[in-house]
Chain A
């Protein structure tokens, strides 16, 4: 497929349709071109069909303009990652073409806008070039407007044609997308879509059709990780939040601000990060678990208040959507370099809970788990997600909301007496009584950041500081005993165990699959509970000759990434080693495999 062809509309030509099981499509343009919405349409279509879907996107940190990509992988089987290499690249501009041609597999198809892209002769042998005058054809299709808005929808039509996608369902999605807007907008979008769809590529480009997959039993929800977290908090019964805008956390606060009032709740945009965490803690004190969140820089600012919440034993959920750091760093790139600040950031001995969701669906589940741990153990819980999981779109089985949703309305039943920091309490952690609760003894609690006695009154007693420090630590040891046994992906014994956390689950599992296919005995675990760690990991490690911790952060001064550092200090196991990276991009499957194999060779 060496020649490139300026495709021309042709009527009625019959084309060859090849069955495929999966495809990776990368769309490259500028951020204002609506690239994300093409990806969104494809993802939702997959969710409504029998296909699996996974997406990956980058957005520039500038306000408008700047290169942007969206990659979507659609498959008939399980889709674990957005794909190492693309089958099809759709390039809107010369820079999109030149920068992303490398992401195509050999023999892949580059569909380019011939109004803006001049193909490079050297690449014509390697990739199949198809030029379509996307810009001018869009302008023509929607009635000669001078602007080229709508070319994303035209491109969606081209893709729908290439992959024999379900046009009726896409039309419904387009109508839904523009519901509530002027009818002319929907009409224009549909015109652009049909112009793209009817553009005959058949004589120059082979077209594809996905294999049928197994029939789904449950409806699929299609959303990003940030959305899943936000809705998970609502399902968990959170009715108060406070935050300050920062990428990539802002989506969650926008969602909560929009949605919470429907549930009788409130979200407050505060003057800064410190006010946000403080306002959320105040609301938690007033009766039910509240949420705040940020990204790395904001988490740093919140840590003094986090220390208070740990000392005062106040429930709280803090979301950290990690980005590239330190400082302003790379605001729109992915990194997993906040693990240590999440576990240890702050002053004093301040044990807290850290959870790391591993995919979009797990963001929903983790939000509920975090709220319940915070509430049951009177402790701040940090949810560590990252830019990749935050913006990635996945389809997953719709949860049974009627059984999942929780009502955490506070009660104010009067009690005989109450000590907020009772050392002999049968559960180890008495619940706080919110203000409004009458205490018949007439002795009322003070919640405080000073070291305190059982009633909450200040003390510098050595014995009490010892006892209270132990209390705050031991309740988390108790919590660890409730965690499920670590699930192992692959056999429990073998040569290499890959250890991951957070958004890297997909490429790690795919690396295991590929290694096993090639005869190497790899398995993997993905740790969701970062602090406290689940019990029994040492027994898992014992089954393998090598334990490689795969994470997107730096190897640091001593050669180990952040989770690897934690695991080595916890287990003193020299076979725990690191595979790290800091290029701001997600792990590729082949990258994990080649790095693992190199590490095996260097004991």
Chain B
């Protein structure tokens, strides 16, 4: 056999390793430690609130920098990872979920958060949402839904209401918008919630519950685009004369049909947890498959496992 032409010299180059630091010797993270670049969002954008509460969540729960990974696709909201001082990924449009799935399935030690907008979630990446949901891959997905394409400057989005005038629908949008809650219930997401950037307490509470859920947790967070769809969510904001209607206290979150009925409530609809169930994650299922396969091969080293296979191919 010819030798591979490149050797295995790790290209670690001038990396300087430092000794490990015990958790008790580390200073708890404050907001200033977690904030990175100043956000590029327009002043007044709803996304600022989501970012601020993400910092608060990390701070409150005492998560170390390196234990959280922030993944995003493309869109205004998807600039998120640049603003967070932690390992982060800015991936391609609509595909943040499969990327995050690769991270989650190979790294059970991390909190994986995905941030994105309605274009990523329901249009270009719509099918990934369905499949990540049915597979129940452990991560938290925050969809910052503004009902419009903001980064590309006001085109119709899959959640734009009928009649919305955009640059691609100057006569008003005609296509029926996606109902995110209905789609998520049908797809089998195991934690489905709805909140808004204008209710920080509610948003933080939902984000925390989503993070603690063992499975695929999805939050639709209404987040106003002040530039291209100002006032879109006033109807849900008491300070603007609207009503913040919480999911009724007697709603059974394990009841799919009840969740679907809640989702049918006309805009601005209900806020809170629509649905939550505990069912095995793909992470757990894969771990079980590995454990079973490992117990069959015993104490063999990897090359010995392959050798045993090759011995049957002679």
Q: Which residues from chain A sit less than 8 Å from chain B, CB to CB?
A: 44, 47-48, 176, 219-223, 227, 231, 234-235, 237, 239-240, 242, 259, 261-266, 268, 270-272, 274-276, 278-287, 290, 304-305, 308, 361-362, 364-365, 368-369, 372-373, 376-378, 397-399, 401-402, 404-407, 412-418, 425-427, 429-431, 433-440, 442-450, 457-458, 479, 482-484, 529
Contacts and interface: CB of A to CB of B under 8 A. Distances in A.
18 contacts: A275-B101, A278-B91, A282-B102, A286-B69, A369-B5, A376-B9, A397-B1, A401-B303, A413-B20, A415-B17, A416-B16, A416-B17, A431-B10, A431-B11, A434-B87, A435-B66, A445-B88, A484-B2
For the complex of A and B, the 6 pairs showing the least CB-CB separation, nearest first, are A282-B102, A261-B293, A435-B87, A278-B98, A405-B303, A283-B102
Given A261-B294, A414-B18, A416-B16, A48 B6 contact: no
B128 A444 contact: no
Contact of A435 (B99, B103, B305, B310): B103
Given A262-B296, A397-B1, A287 B107 contact: yes
A282 B98 CA distance: 8
Given A287-B106, A405-B306, A418-B15, 5 more contacts: A262-B293, A281-B99, A282-B98, A435-B110, A436-B109
Given A261-B292, A263-B302, A430 B15 contact: yes
Contacts of B106: 239-240, 266, 282-283, 286-287, 290
Interface stretch (B78-86, B166-174, B194-202, B267-275): B78-86
B249 interface: no
B95 interface: yes
A48 B313 CA distance: 10
Contact of B101 (A282, A433, A446): A282
B207 interface: no
Given A406-B8, A438-B66, A413 B33 contact: no
A464 to B, nearest CB: 15
Contacts of B8: 372, 376, 406
B49 to A, nearest CB: 22
A contact patch SS: mixed
B292 A431 contact: no
Contacts of B81: 446, 448
Nearest to B32: A442
Contacts of B5: 369, 482-484, 529
Interface centre among B69, B71, B106 (most CB of A within 10 A): B106
B6 to A, nearest CB: 5
Nearest to A264: B290
Contact of A372 (B6, B128, B131, B302): B6
A415 B314 contact: no
Contacts of A278: 91-92, 95, 98-99, 101-102
Contacts of B100: 282
Interface centre among B128, B310, B314 (most CB of A within 10 A): B314
A369 to B, nearest CB: 4
Nearest to B66: A438
Nearest to A366: B4
B59 to A, nearest CB: 14
A436 B66 contact: yes
A398 B308 CA distance: 12
Contacts of B204: none
B40 to A, nearest CB: 9
Contacts of B109: 436
Contact of B89 (A223, A398, A416, A448): A448
Contacts of B66: 412, 435-439, 444
B67 interface: yes
A361 B14 CA distance: 37
B266 interface: no
Contact of A221 (B64, B69, B313): B313
B302 A221 contact: no
B19 interface: yes
A5 B312 CA distance: 41
Contacts of A239: 106
A269 to B, nearest CB: 10
A434 B69 CA distance: 10
Nearest to A282: B102
Interface string B90-130: 11100101111111011101100000000000000001101
B16 to A, nearest CB: 4
Contact of A290 (B16, B98, B102): B102
A448 B294 contact: no
Contact of B294 (A262, A397, A430, A445): A262
A425 B107 contact: no
A261 B289 contact: yes
A435 B64 CA distance: 11
Contact of B297 (A262, A305, A444): A262
A457 B19 CA distance: 27
Given A240-B102, A266-B290, A436-B67, A425 B14 contact: yes
Contacts of B179: none
B65 A264 contact: no
A262 B128 CA distance: 28
Contacts of B65: 438-439, 442, 444
Given A270-B98, A446-B88, A407 B302 contact: yes
A435 B37 contact: no
B309 interface: yes
Contacts of B306: 231, 234-235, 401, 405
Interface centre among A223, A271, A433 (most CB of B within 10 A): A271
A442 to B, nearest CB: 6
A281 B105 CA distance: 12
B152 interface: no
Nearest to B93: A304
A444 B87 contact: yes
A529 B12 CA distance: 25
B38 to A, nearest CB: 11
B307 interface: yes
A169 to B, nearest CB: 11
Given A271-B131, A402-B303, A416-B18, A446 B89 contact: yes
Contacts of A446: 81-82, 88-90
A401 B303 CA distance: 6
B110 to A, nearest CB: 6
B286 interface: yes
Given A439-B66, A448-B90, A274 B14 contact: no
Contact of B64 (A270, A282, A438): A438
A259 B90 contact: no
B41 to A, nearest CB: 14
A433 B69 CA distance: 12
Contacts of B297: 262
B21 A438 contact: yes
Given A416-B16, A431-B11, A449 B98 contact: no
A176 B99 contact: no
Contacts of A405: 302-303, 306
Nearest to B11: A427
Interface string B120-149: 000000011011000000000000000000
A275 to B, nearest CB: 4
B13 interface: yes
B152 to A, nearest CB: 15
B74 to A, nearest CB: 9
